[in-house]
Amino acid sequence: MANKKILFGLLLVLVAGPLQAFEFGWKLDRSYKYLWLLNKKKIGETVFRFSRKEGIAGGEEYYQLAIRRKKTQEGKIEDSVGTLLFTKNGYPTTYSEKTNFRFASNKTFASLQEASIRFANGQVTTSYTSNRKKGEETRKTLRVGKDTYLFFHSCQEQWNLFTTRLDATGPRTFKLFYPEFGEVLNIVFKPEVQSAPFTIGDRKIPVTRFSFAAKKYSNWKGSIWVDEKGRMLQYASGPLKIVLTEKND
């Protein structure tokens, strides 16, 4: 009887199947670049890199997405450095970012914002600190589900953690924690068309175009172009376009 119980338990495991592991379309330890275009004019760029990390003391391996972003808009310059750690299943554990703000016309003015986000025990805790005033940070905790992704402000590269799971045959909804609003957004993605090959340099890459829309905020909508490896090659919403480039100088 004991053997039957063991076999039945193994059968349940096989039927349920393991959690889907994160699948990389991106090469590890290589830099990629998104260009930011507003009304077809470049306003910034994001350089990002994926890497695999060993667990501490024999723990499970995890992954890192490191970014550096620079944007110039309406005379304000933003220079950001961030690090996202996430599990082998693609879900975030921590994110930290430092952003320096200054005005192009006033080089004597500058400010620093530090953000820290931690997912643990069904909650996400967000902390902001301005100009290194550690005793004056703002902190907020929110309950979230285990299937919640992170979308930090201006970090569209983080969408690559779930674009591998888009379905070209039908719509899918993903939960994204958006710290700027302090809430979880439900974003619906619908396959629209198998687009003409996407051109990067001298390469032509087959892609599928998906529309997206936030259920609660109907004004936020747009399209993304995703290749067969699940990589987001382009994002477009209103006059804003974020597009992968071959040049990483």
Q: In the chain, where are the structural domains located?
A: 21-245
Specify the pLDDT at position 89: 86
Question: In 10 A of CB 94, how many CB atoms?
Answer: 16
Report the b/e string of 107-140 with b at 16+ CB within 10 A: eeeeeeebbbbbbeeeebebbbbeeeeeeeeeee
Summarised one tens digit per residue, pLDDT across range 82-98 is 999 999 889 999 999 99
Q: What is the tens place of the pLDDT at every residue in 29-50?
A: 999 999 999 999 999 999 999 9
Q: Is 200 within 8 Å of 245 (Cβ atoms)?
A: yes
Q: Which two tokens stand for residue 161?
A: 């953690």
Q: What is the pLDDT of residue 13?
A: 35
Query: How many Å apart are CA 173 and CA 213, to the nearest integer?
Result: 10
pTM: 0.86
pLDDT at 221 over 70: yes
